[in-house]
Structure 1
């Protein structure tokens, strides 16, 4: 019996079943090896699903052979396959880095719990992408959220507990808003299956209940996405979590939330309803622009570099949402491309800070003065990630911002391209602050000498740094996949 027809289920089932095994293993080394193996397996499965969609087109998998809408359906189309590859790839890259970093930042007796929570979080994120049921999406949302709270709380110090609690409160509010919106939709249609909803909701157009449901769902998912001004949980969560957790969440969690927003808007409600009903596209456009400038402006003034990168993520989320708000295939492709490129650059930056913390026990900019002479490879990778974050040519970040500007011109909004350039200049400031401190200032008097990070940290870190360069030179895979997913989404919605 071949496993190929069951890859969709295995994508979620394998990390779900692996999580309790990590508890039984208990030994940190064994738990890390097992979690890494599971992550790499999930990555291979996601590539298999991508190949299936490219070869045979979108397909469904009925859980337990219960046909939809009575049973839960997994649905893999171009957009879902694209996202599954990104999530599993980032999970695998972070796990390759994790062992020594986690041992330095989490109490020894709790390390196996981290790997358990990580696998549960991975399960939830993959499940949110692959499910074709609106309520099942909520279940996976809670699995990923609860495990995220726990991973953040594992950081050393009381601030990690406070950050996790803050995230828990706002995350619960967001989940509640989402499930209220889904409940209202169910009251109109009597189904939770997304395919059925997309067919039945046009018949309910004009009902105030549907408009209220859309508003609840938008606010709930925007909270999970950390879209300005609903981003207040993100800076503390990224700042006080272990470095590996910050890298994993920054490169996956907000990306999945954006996917959920796209899936619900374009597949369930339909893009035409967003422009003809409640002016959701205009609201998203305004909040995206506000995020682009406010996130970068606040990042400039942060002494803690993890906090600076956290506010930077708020700005980068704005670029992704900007592409979605254009309601065009070109804008969607650019937004999806930036989603992928931002995962690469932010994972690279956070892992570089993880390597710095491994040696310095600090990521404060004052403590990093002159460190480039002692950790040249680590800071070299940070510079590559920073250049990509700015959008310097020959890096991945430049490519996605370039396509965002092209999509803005195609939409007749040249002024958006100007705003993209201006907001990118703010990124120059906070990246330059780090370069200046690390390369141009001497080490503080009396500061202990430090060695370069170990190869087990440098290898995955430079893998991500080189990926930022590679995808800035060759866009055939990155933009090609993003364009394919965007056009398939619009074609399915009758917009092409």
Structure 2
């Protein structure tokens, strides 16, 4: 019985949250829907861990839906890279739900609680589906499931600007999705296949027709919008700022990372790095836009008084580090980009949880209202300090590991000016993180902070679960950096 279940884990990973979402609606009760959503998210995480372990031990897992083999059927495919992303996305999904009830009660009307949990599960389904499917059109389908769910989740924010932010995201997201669909259609026209392995085997590289170049261009631009790469990042600051805190925690930690995952699959699994970085100068272009995004977004973050908006601009900068690793196309550089996906998911998810704790007690995300809150909410404020150190990349934190790998790869390539720019960019992170630390611990308490009490334990435990992970994986790198390196080696070895 256990073996039978194990052989179907790839489909269970999708079916569980997908079927639970409409059940939450039928239940029509917030508490019952939460219990079901939490149970499903934990089971989904268990499935992901099991499949990652299986992929590490025995290699790639293939699952043909309905026993229809490609090209006639849809294939699910889990290797070390996809298993790694599945694990941290589902793990964060479960952690955010553990954190959610009090934040949801404070920021979302009670009549919409069961709808929130249903939509949350749909968003989780879409994100996991993009990681597990080996069919390129299925990637688009799951992308739209997660995107449409995200629009609905963001619109649940308390202010009237939340629906406007969701609408702005909808417009730009639809443009990105249209570009992606056009690119997929052109690849299908060229190859007659939608399975990613078959496309990689059939698509002509370098000396092929211009259609391949056009398809790659459409896919790249569309995914850059979804990843919030500078300068097509404009949907992200408002979306993170005006969404409910629990929604921001989940989307900030997972959404852009999964889009980066798809982009890596495109370059290293379908098109090939030779076509992208040798025949085309995409590595130079990615490096330029990643460095521009790091500096411009980090500078914008320094001038924000709204903490959510500050962290949103920080996320744009951190995506730049991931793209920098992808553009290096070496085992060390690519593993640095991959592990930064994991590290940033932990750090940014934890920091937005800290923000949610302060919102619950202070009712504000404005820095001026947080003055002196470190004295009345010391555990919450300490979590901000630890997460901030990880974001900066201080040694013994997870953020240091990924930046060290990126720097090592850059020095190996002899590009020391870029290494200098990376170090300078970390100083910008010091500035905006320190502004908040100074406000929390060294300013006279505001009226709201003076009357505040520590955040509830039910929110602090999941917060420290993620924030503490930045310290754990800053010392114990076998799981994070080790698996990222194995994934990078496999991707470079499998590149057509």
Q: Shorter-chain TM-score category?
A: over 0.9
Within-5 A mapping of 1:33-432: 33-202=35-204, 205-432=207-434
User: For residues 182 and 367 of structure 1, what CA distance do their matches in structure 2 show?
Assistant: 48
Match of residue 443 from structure 1: 445
Q: CA deviation at 1:274?
A: 0.7
Match of residue 461 from structure 2: 459
Given that 1:369 and 1:437 are in contact with CA atoms closer than 8 Å, whether structure 2 keeps it comes out as: yes
Q: CA deviation at 1:205?
A: 3.7
TM-superposition CA deviations, 1:102-129 (whole Å, max 9, x none): 1101011011111111100000000001
Q: CA deviation at 1:28?
A: 1.7
Q: CA deviation at 1:277?
A: 2.4
Q: CA deviation at 1:204?
A: 7.7
User: For residues 290 and 63 of structure 1, what CA distance do their matches in structure 2 show?
Assistant: 43
SS class of match (2:117) = helix
User: For residues 414 and 203 of structure 1, what CA distance do their matches in structure 2 show?
Assistant: 32
TM-superposition CA deviations, 1:14-67 (whole Å, max 9, x none): 110010111122222221121111111111000111111112111211111111
Structure 1 residues 423 and 446, CA gap change in structure 2 (3 angstroms): closer
SS class of match (2:368) = coil
Greater shift in the superposed pair: 232-241 or 33-42:
33-42
Task: Give the TM-score normalised by structure 1.
Answer: 0.98
User: For residues 270 and 428 of structure 2, what CA distance do their matches in structure 1 show?
Assistant: 37
Task: Give the TM-score normalised by structure 2.
Answer: 0.98
User: For residues 331 and 445 of structure 1, what CA distance do their matches in structure 2 show?
Assistant: 48
Q: Which 5+ residue runs of structure 2 have no aligned equivalent? A: none
User: For residues 402 and 446 of structure 1, what CA distance do their matches in structure 2 show?
Assistant: 40
Q: CA deviation at 1:443?
A: 1.3
User: For residues 293 and 227 of structure 2, what CA distance do their matches in structure 1 show?
Assistant: 12
Q: CA deviation at 1:206?
A: 3.0
User: For residues 41 and 318 of structure 2, what CA distance do their matches in structure 1 show?
Assistant: 26
SS class of match (1:435) = helix
Q: CA deviation at 1:411?
A: 1.7
User: For residues 215 and 485 of structure 1, what CA distance do their matches in structure 2 show?
Assistant: 25
Give the 4+ runs in structure 1 shifted more than 4 A: 445-448
Match of residue 9 from structure 2: 7
User: For residues 339 and 308 of structure 1, what CA distance do their matches in structure 2 show?
Assistant: 19
Match of residue 470 from structure 1: 472
TM-superposition CA deviations, 1:394-440 (whole Å, max 9, x none): 11111111111001111221222111110010001101110111100
How many pairs were matched up? 494
SS class of match (1:83) = helix
Please provide the CA RMSD for this pair. 1.1
Q: CA deviation at 1:475?
A: 1.0
Structure 1 residues 464 and 187, CA gap change in structure 2 (3 angstroms): same
User: For residues 448 and 37 of structure 2, what CA distance do their matches in structure 1 show?
Assistant: 40
Given that 1:63 and 1:73 are in contact with CA atoms closer than 8 Å, whether structure 2 keeps it comes out as: yes
User: For residues 89 and 407 of structure 1, what CA distance do their matches in structure 2 show?
Assistant: 29
Structure 1 residues 270 and 446, CA gap change in structure 2 (3 angstroms): closer
TM-superposition CA deviations, 1:427-483 (whole Å, max 9, x none): 011011101111000113586501101110011111112111111111111110110
Q: Which 5+ residue runs of structure 1 have no aligned equivalent? A: none
Given that 1:188 and 1:204 are in contact with CA atoms closer than 8 Å, whether structure 2 keeps it comes out as: no
Given that 1:204 and 1:210 are in contact with CA atoms closer than 8 Å, whether structure 2 keeps it comes out as: no
Given that 1:211 and 1:278 are in contact with CA atoms closer than 8 Å, whether structure 2 keeps it comes out as: no
